[in-house]
Structure 1
Amino acid sequence: MVEITAAQIGGWLGQYLWPLFRISGFFMLAPVVGSQLVPARIRLMLSILTALVLAPVLPAMPAIDAVSLNSAFITIQQVLIGVAMALALQMLLQVFILAGQMIAMQMGLGFASMVDPSNGISVTVVSQFHLMLATLLFVAVGGHLAMIEVLAESFIVLPVGAGFISNNALWSIMGWFTWMFAAGVLMALPAVTSLMIVNAALGVITRSAPQFNIMTIGFPFMVILGLAIIWATMGNYLPHFEYFTRDALDMMADLVAIR
């Protein structure tokens, strides 16, 4: 008769449970699956399925008593690691929301806002357009597969029980916000610069000819020009997106690699 000890059961559970906690934390904020449009039950099922697929190829998990204080500490630790890694990819989407916000304000559509169903906040229609396009491109270029690959490699670089993210890596998160704003400005720069020049020209016309009601044509002209510039710059959208996606995946990988 085959005897199964409590230690064996604990080892089997640990091999799947510890990866599940990190994966669940990651899927809470990850692009596409972390959206409010995806029910929590679906995210949980995806987390369990991913853990079942990855667990057999991951390094052996540490033997830790499941009801000990150390077990609770490691559980919280793994969830926070997953959330921090997903934050890097959320920064990627925020780049395009920020770019759309700047373009909308410059072209006079800052008041035209709508509720983003993916996160429940109010954004401009231009930002929503950029967000939808970025999300579709993320899936089209295989970003969802790349993020799972980086997540799986994190168990090798930073195994369960090997400690938390280093202080240097935590400080690097501050640099992510700088990167996000710089990338957003870079995306919006062609449209913002063009619209700013046109705005200045309209201001000069208004100043030189006060009797000329520039507002009657200025606002619709700025909106049409802004839409035309967005259309004209779509050709460079994919190269910029791929470049920023690589940066975000590198930041995600470096978070657990920096010691």
Structure 2
Amino acid sequence: MPTEITVDLISQWIGQHFWPLFRLASFMMVIPFIGTQLVPARVRLGLALLITVLIVPMIPPVPTVDPFSANAVIITLQQILIGVGMGFALTALFQLFVVAGQMIAMQMGLGFASMVDPANGVNVPVLSQIYSITITLLYLAMNGHLVAFDVFIESFYTLPIGLEGLGQAGVWSLAHRISWMFAAAMLLALPAVTAVFIVNISFGVMTRAAPQMNIFALGFPIGLIFGLFAIWVLHANFLPHFEQYSRETFEFMRQLQGQP
């Protein structure tokens, strides 16, 4: 006997597919390496539709709500907020290396050497672009994108689709995540910045001791060479820092879902 198609059944179909799609599409529109200008919007939407069809049989059942009611609008906004929030947590991981590169470049005199970032469409120092390319390759080589999607799919169990979302505590955690990004960038750039700063202090003392010498013209190329040397030395510890910050990011994404 054929199943009778009713309004409630259509509402259940819509909620079962569209609300996970809103959460997943919001997540994919924000995260790096997929949510950038390098990937067309049609490709992102196609991937979101494909992944939604694959994960819908695995997620808990969604509540039956009239799609034209106020509760449906609240649920939709909550799914978008969850997707954007988790995507922002992952974006902060990549941006902290960009900020660290800007700190080092400004201190060593490479701030004027900027180029257009094709992913975001803004001017960044060359050093920040090198860091961005490096962490993108490391992230893909370590299958970080698979881990990110695994953590994201867990959110359908820890934060099931409904009227309850991130809440006030989750929003405040996302706001405080910005301070973590700048603090982590400072810790990453502090050795190189300190080394170049000591060189600048040395040339300042030399200027006071011998005012007739043009120490500024001499100190700029030396400070630049010393800064490049410091970057080369610190690049050996690039992978451990990336692993630590990646681990902290995935732990934060789980804490955002309410997991211990």
TM-score range, shorter chain: over 0.9
Q: What is the CA deviation profile of residues 43-80 of structure 1, one whole-angstrom value per residue up to 9, with x for unaligned ones?
A: 10111111111111111111122232322221122111
User: 1:148 is matched with which residue?
Assistant: 149
Aligned counterpart, 1:246: 247
Q: How does 1:74-93 map to 2 (within 5 A)?
A: 74-93=75-94
Q: Which residue of 2 aligns with 1:113?
A: 114
| Residue 13 of structure 2 is aligned to residue 5 of structure 1 | no
Task: Write the letter of the residue equivalent to 1:5.
Answer: I
Matched residues, number: 259
Contact 1:169 1:258 in 2 (8 A): no
* Offset of residue 11 of structure 1: 2.4
Of 118-127 and 216-225, the range deviating more from structure 2? 216-225
Q: Kindly state the Cα deviation for residue 258 of structure 1 after the two structures are TM-superposed.
A: 7.0
CA deviation digits over 1:70-111, x for unaligned, max 9? 222211221111001111111111110110011001101112
The 5-angstrom pairing of residues 85-104 of structure 1 reads 85-104=86-105
User: Which residue pairs with 1:160 in the alignment?
Assistant: 161
Matched, 1:192 2:210: no
The CA distance in 2 between the partners of 1:177 and 1:12, in whole Å, is 38
1:36-75 matched pairs, under 5 angstroms: 36-75=37-76
Q: Any unmatched runs of 5+ in structure 1?
A: none
CA-to-partner distance for each residue in 1:11-67, whole Å, 9 max, x for gaps? Answer: 233222111110011111112111111111111011111111111111111112223
How far apart, in 1, do the equivalents of 2:132 and 2:124 lie? 10
CA distance in 2, matches of 1:3, 1:171: 47
Which digits, 9 at most, give the CA deviation of each residue in 1:99-154, with x for residues without a partner?
00110011011121122111122211111111111121111111111110111000
Q: Is the contact between residue 98 and residue 181 of structure 1 (CA under 8 Å) also seen in structure 2?
A: yes
Please, what TM-score do these two structures have when normalized by structure 1?
0.95
Q: Output the aligned Cα RMSD.
A: 1.6
Counterparts of 2:55 and 2:224, CA distance in 1 = 49
- Which amino acid in 1 is paired with 2:79? Q
Take 1:240 and 1:145, find their aligned partners in 2: how far apart are those partners?
20
- 2-side partners of 1:169 and 1:3: how far apart? 42
Mapped to 2, the partners of 1:169 and 1:45 lie a distance apart of 29
Aligned equivalents of 1:210, 1:69: Cα separation in 2: 74
- Tell me, in whole angstroms, the C-alpha distance in 1 between the residues paired with 2:127 and 2:118: 15
Shift of 1:162: 4.4
Once residues 167 and 9 of structure 1 are traced to their aligned partners in structure 2, the CA distance between those partners, rounded to angstroms, is 33
Q: Which secondary structure state, in structure 2, belongs to the residue aligned with residue 160 of structure 1?
A: coil
- Structure 1 residue runs of 4+, over 6 Å off? none
| Greater CA drift, 63-72 or 42-51 | 63-72
| Residues 166, 258 of structure 1: 8 Å contact kept | no
**TM-score between both structures, scaled by the size of structure 2:** 0.94
Identical columns (%): 49
- Report what 1:228 is aligned to: 229
Paired residues of 2:78 and 2:163 also in contact (CA < 8 A): no
